[in-house]
Structure 1
């Protein structure tokens, strides 16, 4: 009995202690957010950038998004690929920037991110500014981290590390066998054989079509990576391929074979780049450099609108929740409409990083792009790591589509269905027993029973309608015969390089290429000052805090103003005098105003 009460009261004490810790954590979290909000809203007191001889430091070891997050917690995130593109392009012509130092990713990163970073670093190097990269090994078998820093002037590697950047691989988890064991029956339709997302639910391994498509885009990315590395390092492409694929190597072997340039720890590599930059050179984090931009363009400068689409596509509003960002059809369509109706906007860049999602929401965004074009605003689709299925759907009507050579795109197809769980539930002694009124299709999506012949036929017909509409709109957007689109679609994923050959994209390049294209379509010269404006405007600081917690903007601004007042020299003098008088038994008060 004594043990019971000890356990009982111990459990209660544990719950109370846990609750207290949670409350303390939330208080600190809110306090941190308020502090960050006040800091971003107040006049910047961040350390000023040095006037010259900056060495920008870029750490690629932390995963980063393609586009800046709209989350209130975005202040804690590393710069996105779009922001890095802007920062490194500015650094290329900024006389204050003497060099760039890069901490390499050691395992892997998205292929298109690696390609964009490679290109940006190579452009900085071509501008005569040394780019030094340091890796604590190239591990995990993937060539992509090596690809990302392959545009640097020098690649250092820690001498105790290894070089295993020998190729590319994917691992696909198939659930068909698991469902069979538990009595779950997957029922799906797919248009067509290459729309292999459904295969992971229905199969126990790769189908021939799935294997063919996957190996095709893997080879395309691998070829692009090796060709770019060879070009930047002045190596023979065939010889470089032979060397890379014959790995792994120790650090000393990688140095002897010319795969890296120097061995040493990160401190030595950092000092090396500082020495090359000059005696007064100073390291500056690239995020600080990006957040303290050069003089802004004049208010009357023409505007290039940037509309960002990141995540799965859903109906309704966009969101940046714990599950990652999603693209809401309402939010994105409204943003495109707002940009199209703004007289100052000369062109629209639609930046896409999406595997697809809702066909209905995709069509809603497609319609907004069409309206923008009809309003006379050129639309340039800029593809990030992925612009597939619905991600390609929303790009299709653009005036120009620009993708990285390694972007995963296409997947022009659709699939849908359900998991029938009646047998699985019955094994647990459960019975999901449906009742319905109305037409037979009422229960088509129910997990309680398999499709009847009529339901299966109706579902397939609806899915085929979506596929035909998708291919028709791609045909119209790309100005290609429908028969040709249907031949190359079939749900197949292509790389950007393959998509260029097929006519599904117009140009290979990153965000910088999209900006150049937007200028051209808007009739603006390369040297003309422009304003790049996000639609919708991204909430920052106080606005983000208000959106997260419902805190009144006036309340937080009043707190900020009070804080600034109390920090003034006059207020500090009064406070010190009050403390002195209180110590002598006196009190300092303001005179009372009498209403009259």
Structure 2
């Protein structure tokens, strides 16, 4: 209770009238909000920013005000003076609270007023409410100075209003004060200018014209002109969210994609952000889609680093831009399968003349350690259930088994087909491409010859080439604007429709017991069961979310941790809300086990899925210790108490106990998959389980995956299963935030050598270890 009281008090004392329509001097923002679109006067803009206003009335009273607001609160200061009799100042604090998926907003403002007409300070409180019953109608009311105390009581005013959006870019508003003042407000977006006209209906009001213009993406200004045709006030405002239609002329935009693109942001780093998450990448594409002035977009893939799943998300984003009629160009400084996949939707693909071509199939190598371990006297005792669970073979065999080789060859062939299918569609004559595969070339001109790219140019030649080729315009020195993708970039959202919230849970890297995190030294991430269960526990009791998307990019990990997460997801899917599993580059073994807790499993064509199996064991150093003339002496209460130690090997009874555990867990794994896919346990065991690994496209064919797609499809399916209207906007909210990764990064350093400690105990894994793949 004390915590909530403190939060309420903090909100009431730190909030504002910045950007509020009840304060007519503040800027009119594009798309109808700001001056006219919010009759109750609430700061419901989801965009931290600041505003400065100054001007002079007809009575030569000079006015100045400034304010700043967060997502839901802010503060402002106003000052009025004629340098003789008028001397007034006012502080305003306001907080607005969204309710019912933003169907309504409640607001409470607190004001402090001082004037030369009296001694002391007047304090007042104003409650307000804003309701948007339809996406074209807003109704507002506030009771100005409803509660007040001080030496001079201020006049109470009942302010009410309504705004109707007749069509996109035009709205009509009515505003009234008590029974004495009534005014009509018209606003039209004329592209270069946003024009508002105040028309007095009753009372001592004047005609007034507002002219607003956006300068760039975040700064805008408003000039107000009174009925004497003199400019009286000027306001300039800043929004942290980007204004999509910033009234700019068509231009050529370059989007550099050199920063590594990953599923989630990295954790703490002394060097700042070193990667861009999928969520941030999608936000940047949304801004490009909303920015109609970006007519020609050059995606610069120089130094590109991303896996197949994110590459496919980029390909889809470029395809959406093409549908809007944009010209998209992909510039490559190297040809690799994932780069071509990301660029395959572009109108033109341009390759640097000296670029290296790496287009000759998929290959990998597996290093076998058994001979070395035998030589030094180390014995790795690993048991498994599943002949295809080949991660143990480098430690227990001298060469690859027939089963493993067969599975890998089939997997690699289909993985290559899935990864290159989109780029092959662009090529009319695939025979020359097949010839290049048989007789590989590293030369850029051969990539152009077979149709992998359209032309060979340097980066500074791309824009003139596009303008001349597609528009017939000679412009050798055309200006190119850089659009640098950034994390946390938001678009100024003026949609009045109620919004539903969908939770997002990222399962990234190895799945471990306890806490996971990010290791800034190795650059790897792990996901711990403790933090996931805690986040899901909070989700189960949260009424604000309508669905959950679990984004998985994991080879597996701890069997027990995977089972615990699966159970919690399955419970949520059955009792609380629909759950969609979206598999990125990989959802294998424990990662696939977790996906089976969802109502629906979605994967990319080139995703790696399956590996239904288990292995476990330990490392025995007895032979090495004997060679070094070292002796390890056990102390125990029972015969098998030291079974997990490295001083001796398993005996037959201990091996059988471990094998029984793996057999039981394997059967449980089959049951989990059977429930999720409706495939029988017998058919799974015979043809799909046992450690076999598949691509997403194979998974759809054999029933392990329901649908092929990425995050867009996952969101669409989440909305469908949750009963959310297709047209209704949704907010995707991570429940394992980057902040939690940062806080865990420090504790990760304590565990940098945990892999050494892991040999001190018997491990039971549900883990797929893939040979090196050319991501």
Partner of 1:136: helix, strand, or coil?
strand
> What value does the CA root-mean-square deviation take over the aligned residues?
3.2
Equivalent in the alignment of 2:195: none
2:333 matches 1:153? no
Equivalences for residues 52-451 of structure 1 within 5 A: 52=248, 53=250, 57-71=254-268, 76-104=273-301, 109-138=306-335, 142-231=336-425, 233=426, 235-237=428-430, 240-270=433-463, 272=465, 282-288=480-486, 291-295=489-493, 301-322=499-520, 323=522, 324-438=524-638, 440-451=639-650
Superposed displacement of residue 222, structure 1 = 1.1
**Maintained 8 Å contact 1:131/1:153:** yes
Superposed displacement of residue 341, structure 1 = 2.4
Superposed displacement of residue 120, structure 1 = 3.0
Superposed displacement of residue 69, structure 1 = 3.4
Q: Which moved more, 1:41-50 or 1:489-498?
A: 41-50
Going by fraction, where is strand more abundant, 1 or 2? Answer: 2
Q: Distance in 2 between matches of 1:267 and 1:219?
A: 38
Q: Distance in 2 between matches of 1:459 and 1:108?
A: 41
**Maintained 8 Å contact 1:349/1:380:** yes
The higher radius of gyration belongs to 2
Equivalent in the alignment of 1:17: none
Q: Distance in 2 between matches of 1:359 and 1:320?
A: 21
Partner of 1:137: helix, strand, or coil?
strand
Partner of 1:117: helix, strand, or coil?
helix
Superposed displacement of residue 373, structure 1 = 1.5
**Maintained 8 Å contact 1:297/1:531:** no
Equivalences for residues 499-510 of structure 1 within 5 A: 499-510=699-710
1:46–1:395 CA distance, 2 compared to 1 (3 A): closer
Q: Distance in 1 between matches of 2:263 and 2:434?
A: 29
Q: Distance in 2 between matches of 1:330 and 1:289?
A: 27
Superposed displacement of residue 467, structure 1 = 1.0
Q: Say how many residue pairs are matched.
A: 503
Q: What TM-score do you get using the length of structure 1 for normalisation?
A: 0.77
1:381–1:57 CA distance, 2 compared to 1 (3 A): farther
2:679 matches 1:486? no
**Maintained 8 Å contact 2:581/2:601:** yes
Superposed displacement of residue 394, structure 1 = 0.6
Q: Distance in 2 between matches of 1:472 and 1:104?
A: 44
Superposed displacement of residue 391, structure 1 = 0.3
Q: Distance in 2 between matches of 1:236 and 1:66?
A: 35
1:464–1:47 CA distance, 2 compared to 1 (3 A): closer
Q: What TM-score do you get using the length of structure 2 for normalisation?
A: 0.60
Question: Gapped runs of 5+ residues in structure 2?
Answer: 1-69, 75-237, 748-775
Q: Distance in 1 between matches of 2:499 and 2:465?
A: 41
1:442–1:164 CA distance, 2 compared to 1 (3 A): same
Superposed displacement of residue 67, structure 1 = 2.2
Equivalent in the alignment of 1:453: 652
1:177–1:75 CA distance, 2 compared to 1 (3 A): same
**Maintained 8 Å contact 1:134/1:266:** yes
Equivalent in the alignment of 1:567: none
Per-residue CA distance 1:236-295 (angstroms, 9 max, x = gap):
555544444443152223223322111121222255568879999752334249613231
Q: Distance in 1 between matches of 2:240 and 2:675?
A: 52
Q: Distance in 2 between matches of 1:74 and 1:57?
A: 25
Q: Distance in 1 between matches of 2:663 and 2:247?
A: 62
Question: Gapped runs of 5+ residues in structure 1?
Answer: 1-39, 550-596
1:107–1:518 CA distance, 2 compared to 1 (3 A): closer
Equivalent in the alignment of 1:5: none
Partner of 2:334: helix, strand, or coil?
coil
Q: Distance in 1 between matches of 2:744 and 2:311?
A: 36
Equivalences for residues 585-596 of structure 1 within 5 A: none
Superposed displacement of residue 498, structure 1 = 0.7
Q: Which moved more, 1:366-375 or 1:319-328?
A: 319-328
**Maintained 8 Å contact 2:254/2:480:** no
1:425–1:548 CA distance, 2 compared to 1 (3 A): closer
Q: Which moved more, 1:402-411 or 1:110-119?
A: 110-119
Q: Distance in 2 between matches of 1:89 and 1:47?
A: 11
Superposed displacement of residue 147, structure 1 = 2.6
Q: Distance in 1 between matches of 2:495 and 2:392?
A: 49
Q: Distance in 2 between matches of 1:359 and 1:289?
A: 34
Equivalent in the alignment of 1:26: none
**Maintained 8 Å contact 1:389/1:411:** yes
Q: Distance in 2 between matches of 1:364 and 1:296?
A: 41
Q: Distance in 1 between matches of 2:370 and 2:645?
A: 19
Q: Which moved more, 1:159-168 or 1:486-495?
A: 159-168
**Maintained 8 Å contact 1:274/1:281:** no
Equivalent in the alignment of 1:31: none
Partner of 1:101: helix, strand, or coil?
strand
Per-residue CA distance 1:101-139 (angstroms, 9 max, x = gap):
22336687533333333333233334322221222232x
Equivalent in the alignment of 1:556: none
Equivalences for residues 34-53 of structure 1 within 5 A: 51-52=247-248, 53=250
**Maintained 8 Å contact 2:360/2:440:** yes
Superposed displacement of residue 502, structure 1 = 1.1
Q: Distance in 2 between matches of 1:288 and 1:273?
A: 26
Going by fraction, where is helix more abundant, 1 or 2? Answer: 1
Q: Distance in 1 between matches of 2:479 and 2:713?
A: 31
Instruction: Between the two structures, name the one with larger relative contact order (CA 8 Å, sep ≥ 6).
Output: 1
1:282–1:143 CA distance, 2 compared to 1 (3 A): closer
1:55–1:295 CA distance, 2 compared to 1 (3 A): farther
Superposed displacement of residue 57, structure 1 = 3.9
**Maintained 8 Å contact 2:285/2:317:** yes
1:181–1:496 CA distance, 2 compared to 1 (3 A): same
Q: 2:665 aligns with which of 466, 486, 498?
A: 466
